Structure 1
Amino acid sequence: MKRKLLSWALLGALASATCYYLLFQPGLEQRSVFSAVRCPGQTVVIDAGHGGEDGGAVSLSGVPESGINLSIALKLDQILGLYGVAPVLLRSEDVSLHDSSAQTLREKKVSDLHNRVAVIEAAENATLISIHQNTFQGARYHGAQVFYANPELSLPLAQLTQDLLRQTLDPGNTRAPKPIPDTVYLMNHITCRAILVECGFLSNPEEDLLLQTAGYQTKLASTLAAAWLQFQELEPVPTTNEEA
């Protein structure tokens, strides 16, 4: 099992390098040119947490997490695309997804969350990967941690993702996946498989700076992509009505 996990990590690293060459070299436009030829009938929904006026947590260096979340989400989208997966991005810009009728910041946050839930629930056989950054009073904590809402649906993917994040990025990370708190609206109002990944602690000086680098963001995205792809090999393929 460990050897297989490591092979997926190497595969993810290769994908990220190829993705960078094709999509992020100076003079080349970022583009989405991939079709869903892998995992047909299933949808990966990528949620870059927060956005717009809601910047989320702010790092020690004054950077809001919303931009970091978006950078990782865009890289994850492109890497999965190299494997024929066509994800749904809840946002591809630094914007809130609220209705135009929302006026106050609170109204915008509520509307944004409701709209995200609606998109996720409308997706066919969806799996949500929600990307966030952690923070804490004090600088001693670091490392990624995965949360899940529905244990029966989501715990296997959460455990696989946590294991792969530890093995590829932070061997000393002893964190285990945890149930999401009831206070997290998005994760508690959807019915599909879902994980929320706190990629690191913005309250830790070293990790704060690391999370802002394109290289580490690409490693995170590659690992999340590798976890999803391996999970598809472990899960039985859903049977459609035509196949029944």
Structure 2
Amino acid sequence: MKRVLFLFVAIVSIILLPTWACAASSDFGERVSGMTEVTGIRVNSGSEKIRIVVDANAPVSYRTMTLSNPNRVVVDLKGAWLSNKVKKNIPVDSRFVNAIRIGQFNKDTVRVVVENKVGASNYNVFSLKGGPVPGRLVMDFGNIHGDTSKATIAIPDVKHDSSGTASPSTSDAGSSTPQTPSADTSQQATDASQGQDTDPSVTDSSVPASSGQDELDAPAKEAAGDTQTSPNQPAAITDDTDADIAALTGLKGRKITIDAGHGGNDSGAIGPTGVMEKSVTLRIANELRRLLVAEGATVYMTRTTDTEVSSKGANASDIEELQARCDVANNSKSDIFISIHMDSFSSGAAKGTTGYYYSLGSKRSRDLADKVRQGVIDQIGTSSRGTQSCNFYVVKHTDMPATLVEVAFISNPQEEQLLNSEEGIKKAAQGIADGIADYFG
């Protein structure tokens, strides 16, 4: 009897499990609907300053606070949720910053904590509009005034006046008021200092505690005068700030050749509804070029329209056409070569993303292939088919690290539909760009 009861319970559980999973997924979707997703955090450490950039899929309101013992800058991003792909603890190698942590502070707030050595006058927090990422929050720590004497490493405790404005103690003679970038008057900035949740009881264990005071207690200490708050400081992107942001990915000055597979008389594989591989690869390539140029790279394209690459056009042999693509990269002395393709199989069930590199090529080619493949998977959610060696002509006959990425299966109805959409194209391009940035980073 017990055995029968056990089997009954097991069967009911199996039947109901998908329902529970769907309900949980639905609840999550409803909770984050209309909220901004924090998609990544990037760090560039230099001799004069460290720059931290938080990426989001839309502009976000924020509030800044300072805490002492140890010195920390806390930034709360309101109306935001943290993607589970973002690392919670960010490695740091800087004389200005000890540690960076990010987590979901409460149901609608993402908190960034930067444990630093520069005190209250040698950091700056501002948002950027425009550029390849819809929402970017920038945090600079160190020599932000152009005077190294002001980027002090051993900063004494900071005192606060009754208005909540920080003023350095007399021993901190080198400090001055931080400069904020000029704002574009066409941008309507949201004042994040209004309507903030200051309930000290709201905490979340996803943000780890610091070695001293717990930054999750920050709202409670605000009343005691141990914190400094500041509203949003929106800034327009200038050539200088864009150049600095580009340095975060290591793409500034890099020469990259993008090869959109097939084209012209060669349609490539064709999906169940008639979508052609040559069209998808070209759309991804053109979007990828836009992203890379915005990050400071010099981009060479084997083709930008639906055409063959060889000067012989449709009369070129397969080898002549493929060599023409290699020539674009070799003649430009590009740093890397990326060939974009869509996979295909006789069965529509085949799916996933594959990275390829020349079997006798360098380890750098394998590293590039691996990072680009992973970047695509992270963005479009396809399954991984691994990074594999190959003997493909375009990765064999290029003089630099090269990869051929099969983004997805055009023969798979779902993946064909995804990569025939504007969202799918943008995500695939972003994934490749992320992989390239990771490779150079």
Classify the TM-score, shorter chain.
0.7 to 0.9
CA distance in 1, matches of 2:300, 2:331: 11
Contact 2:263 2:306 in 1 (8 A): yes
Alignment counterpart, residue 70 of structure 1, candidates 269, 277, 282: 282
Aligned length: 208
Q: Which runs of 5+ in 1 are unaligned?
A: 20-33, 234-244
Alignment counterpart, residue 145 of structure 1, candidates 354, 370, 377: 354
Larger Rg: 2
Q: Which runs of 5+ in 2 are unaligned?
A: 1-38, 43-53, 59-130, 136-241
CA distance in 2, matches of 1:11, 1:133: 28
Identify the residue that residue 225 of structure 1 maps to in structure 2: 433
Matched letter for residue 67 of structure 1? S
Alignment counterpart, residue 306 of structure 2, candidates 94, 98, 104: 94
Contact 1:16 1:219 in 2 (8 A): no
Q: Displacement of 1:50 after TM fit?
A: 0.8
Matched letter for residue 257 of structure 2? V
If asked which structure has higher relative contact order (CA below 8 Å, sep 6+), I would say: 1
Deviations 1:103-130 (A, max 9, x none): 64xx343322121121211122420111
Alignment counterpart, residue 169 of structure 1, candidates 376, 380, 392: 380
Contact 1:52 1:94 in 2 (8 A): yes
CA distance in 2, matches of 1:82, 1:220: 17
Q: 1:50 to 1:162 in 2, by over 3 A?
A: same
Q: 4+ runs of 1 displaced by more than 6 Å?
A: none
More helix by share: 1
Deviations 1:187-221 (A, max 9, x none): 22122100111111011111111110011110010
Alignment counterpart, residue 194 of structure 1, candidates 402, 405, 409: 402
Please say which of residues 162-171 and 118-127 is displaced more in the overlay: 162-171
Identify the residue that residue 366 of structure 2 maps to in structure 1: 155
Identify the residue that residue 214 of structure 1 maps to in structure 2: 422
CA distance in 2, matches of 1:103, 1:229: 35
Please say which of residues 128-137 and 150-159 is displaced more in the overlay: 150-159
CA distance in 2, matches of 1:40, 1:109: 34
Q: Displacement of 1:174 after TM fit?
A: 3.6
More strand by share: 2
Contact 2:268 2:276 in 1 (8 A): yes
**Does 2:388 correspond to 1:178?**
yes
Contact 1:43 1:126 in 2 (8 A): yes
Identity %: 25
Q: Displacement of 1:72 after TM fit?
A: 0.2
Identify the residue that residue 112 of structure 1 maps to in structure 2: 321
Q: 1:122 to 1:204 in 2, by over 3 A?
A: same
Matched letter for residue 303 of structure 2? R
Q: Displacement of 1:49 after TM fit?
A: 0.6
Please give the secondary structure, in 2, of the residue aligned with 1:130. strand
Q: 1:123 to 1:109 in 2, by over 3 A?
A: same
Contact 2:284 2:425 in 1 (8 A): yes
Q: Displacement of 1:17 after TM fit?
A: 5.5
Matched letter for residue 310 of structure 2? H
CA distance in 1, matches of 2:279, 2:413: 18
Identify the residue that residue 81 of structure 1 maps to in structure 2: 293
Contact 2:357 2:404 in 1 (8 A): yes
TM-score (norm 1): 0.75
CA distance in 2, matches of 1:92, 1:179: 28
TM-score (norm 2): 0.43
Matched letter for residue 176 of structure 1? G
